[in-house]
Amino acid sequence: MHNTRYAPSGMVCSVDHLASAAGAAVLDRGGSAADAAIAVNAVLAVTAPHMCGLGGDLFALVYEPPGRDGGSGTVRALNASGRAGSGADPDGLRAEGHERMPHLHDIRSVPVPGCVDGWAALHARYGRLPLADLLAPAVRLARDGFPASPLMVPGARVAAQRPGGGDFTAARAPGDRVSRPGVARALRAVGVAGRDGFYLGEFGAGLLELGAGEYTRDDLAAPAADWVDPLRVRAFGHDVWSMPPNSQGYLLLMALGIADGLELPASPAHPSWAHLLAEAARVSGHDRLSVLHEDAKDLLAPEEIARRRALIDPAARLRLRAPAEPGDTTYLCVVDGDGMGVSLIQSNASGFGSMLFEPRTGINLHNRGIGFSLRPGHPAEYGPGRRPPHTLTPALITRPDGALRSVLGTMGGDAQPQILLQVIARLLRHGEEPGPAVAAPRWRLGTGGTGFDTWDAPDDTVVDVEEGAPWTNGLAALGHPVSARPYGSMFGHAHVIDVRPGGMLAGAADPRSLVGAAIGR
């Protein structure tokens, strides 16, 4: 359960051993870390539709190692999150009585999916092998069938009842063979014609049909992927990097900046360790609904981090009085023999997403539009061409000299920054190996709701504590409402690849994923 895998010249971690194996094979053929990441994600788009897919969005951080002339490496950030269609009409939703975006079964919560545009951008900049070759393992699994994973089966039973969800009728028990011929066709089209083979091909035609005015052909013709400047904070003697808005990556970095100035106990088993980190997460995120939108700036000002840190009481839970307004995902990481690292996260948002299926290929569509606001004039208001606030939070760590230390991330909706806060503290503050750091019990801030409503009422959040954690009684004594929860996927699927000073790689896939794997070469 606590296994750390080691490898000398490349490693892949993901939630599915079939996907990790596809990525490792790409590294063996001389592909880059970006090539391998695309191959892994493509397999996951077939085998893990309850987490991600071609109908979802993508974010990635890429570490470019120094050139032959030396110097520091460079961190690049790719935002491949889709935009609402030209027909987006917030007034229409409000007129129907909606106060927030519909969670399921409504095309208006489906921005144009950005995943394939993300693959195209990664491949254009860093690819070494032909795109069709990278997608070939995924095409084969979609065409010939793959074993249903234990985590997919419960959602597949529901998805199979929806229009267009017929691919999942075969997924009655773990190990049942599931094929997805429409997804195979879509992947082949991407391999032949790139992003236009997808957005302007069979999938795009079906999306226009299903959208019934929500999108135009021009919406689908416009690439959704942008290279942007990453965010960074210094914590525990390292630089930690994540995505800028519209991602909530700033919450991870702010919480780390706050935690770096707190007196954390020497052992993560001490209740104060969980208390201080949970409070760092709460003071970072309580106003997220007000401040996070695609154009947000200066969220990590040092004086603001210091101000929020000063709110924390080591001996009691804070009462938050700042105003607040009334998923699923998969993460993967790769490091190649040249030192390039890719931290990639790709998502449907909530389980199978919107529970809508593009009618020609059967690709399930995300519901990332639930991040939009329906409050008139809000900076994140639903509207044409806009990107919604996103929970996706990939992370990358560099050493003070600029060398790559770690690539890591997790699924988990609103809880992603909270999960990564704990894993990073274990790695950097306590010197744990990736295996124990990933497998250790966790806490998260919960409401018992959708997993995307943590900050609706910040003072009503409960600290969900995973089975086996040592903090339950201590947190309750410090004033936290505590709920005991079983060890499992509700606390994320975190994966880590750590780069040792001599170049040896140490990695771990989260045991909560059941079929995940860290594979080295």
Q: Read off the pLDDT band of 450 (50, 70, 90).
A: confident
Q: Read off the pLDDT band of 323 (50, 70, 90).
A: very low
Residues belonging to the chain: 521
β-sheet bridge partners, residue 482: 463
Cα separation, 464 vs 444, whole angstroms: 5
What pLDDT shows up at residue 68? 65
The mean predicted confidence, pLDDT, of the chain is 95
The residues, any chain, with a CB within 8 Å of residue 390's CB and separated by 6 or more, are 57, 59, 81, 246, 247, 248, 368, 371
Poorest-pLDDT segment among 60-69, 483-492, 511-520: 60-69
Calculate mean pLDDT across residues 46-57: 97
369's tokens: 């539009």
What pLDDT shows up at residue 325? 35
Calculate mean pLDDT across residues 265-277: 98
Contact 136, 391 (CB under 8 A): no
Above 50 in pLDDT, residue 512? yes
Q: Is residue 391 annotated as a catalytic residue, yes or no?
A: no
User: How far, in Å, are 273, 318, 445, 446, 455 from residue 458 at the CA level?
Assistant: 20, 11, 9, 10, 5
CA 20 to chain centroid, in Å, comes to 17
Above 50 in pLDDT, residue 79? yes
Sign of CA dihedral 166, 167, 170, 171: negative
Q: Read off the pLDDT band of 69 (50, 70, 90).
A: low
**Torsion angles phi and psi, residue 190, rounded to 5:** -65, -40
Above 70 in pLDDT, residue 259? yes
Calculate mean pLDDT across residues 176-180: 98
Sign of CA dihedral 115, 117, 120, 123: negative
Calculate mean pLDDT across residues 277-290: 96
Helix extents (H) in 1-130: 17-28, 33-47, 90-95, 115-126
Above 60 in pLDDT, residue 14? yes
Q: What is the pLDDT of residues 423-444, one digit of tens each?
A: 999 999 999 999 999 999 999 9
What pLDDT shows up at residue 302? 96
What pLDDT shows up at residue 443? 98
Q: What is the β-pairing status of strands 462-466 and 482-485?
A: parallel
Helix extents (H) in 261-370: 271-285, 288-291, 302-310
Domains of the chain: 16-59+80-227+350-371 (no CATH), 236-327+391-520 (3.60.20)
Above 50 in pLDDT, residue 94? yes
Above 80 in pLDDT, residue 331? yes
Cα separation, 496 vs 492, whole angstroms: 13
Q: Read off the pLDDT band of 301 (50, 70, 90).
A: very high
What pLDDT shows up at residue 72? 83
What pLDDT shows up at residue 321? 59
What pLDDT shows up at residue 46? 98
Q: Read off the pLDDT band of 250 (50, 70, 90).
A: very high
Poorest-pLDDT segment among 65-74, 85-94, 388-397, 455-464: 65-74
- What is the percentage of the chain residues whose pLDDT exceeds 90? 93
Find the catalytic residue in 47, 329, 361, 454: 329
Above 90 in pLDDT, residue 326? no
Q: Where are the beta strands (DSSP E) in 310-361?
A: 328-335, 341-349, 356-357
Cα separation, 74 vs 283, whole angstroms: 31
What pLDDT shows up at residue 447? 84
In this structure, which long-range contacts are made by residues 197-206, counting pairs with CB atoms below 8 Å and at least 24 apart in sequence?
198/54, 198/116, 199/112, 199/116, 199/117, 202/360, 202/361, 203/54, 203/358, 203/360, 203/361, 203/363, 205/360, 206/358, 206/359, 206/360, 206/361
Calculate mean pLDDT across residues 294-316: 96
Cα separation, 365 vs 183, whole angstroms: 12
- 339-357 core/surface letters (b: 16 or more CB in 10 A; e: else): bbbbbbbbbbbbbbbbbbb
Burial of 303 (0-12, 13-18, 19+ CB in 10 A): exposed
Contact 304, 297 (CB under 8 A): no
Establish whether the linkage from the previous residue to 367 is cis, with ω within 30° of 0. no
Burial of 314 (0-12, 13-18, 19+ CB in 10 A): exposed
Q: What is the pLDDT of residues 16-34, one digit of tens each?
A: 999 999 999 999 999 999 9
What pLDDT shows up at residue 328? 63
Select from 227, 238, 225 the least CA-distant residue to 396: 238
Q: Read off the pLDDT band of 197 (50, 70, 90).
A: very high
What pLDDT shows up at residue 324? 34
Calculate mean pLDDT across residues 225-245: 98
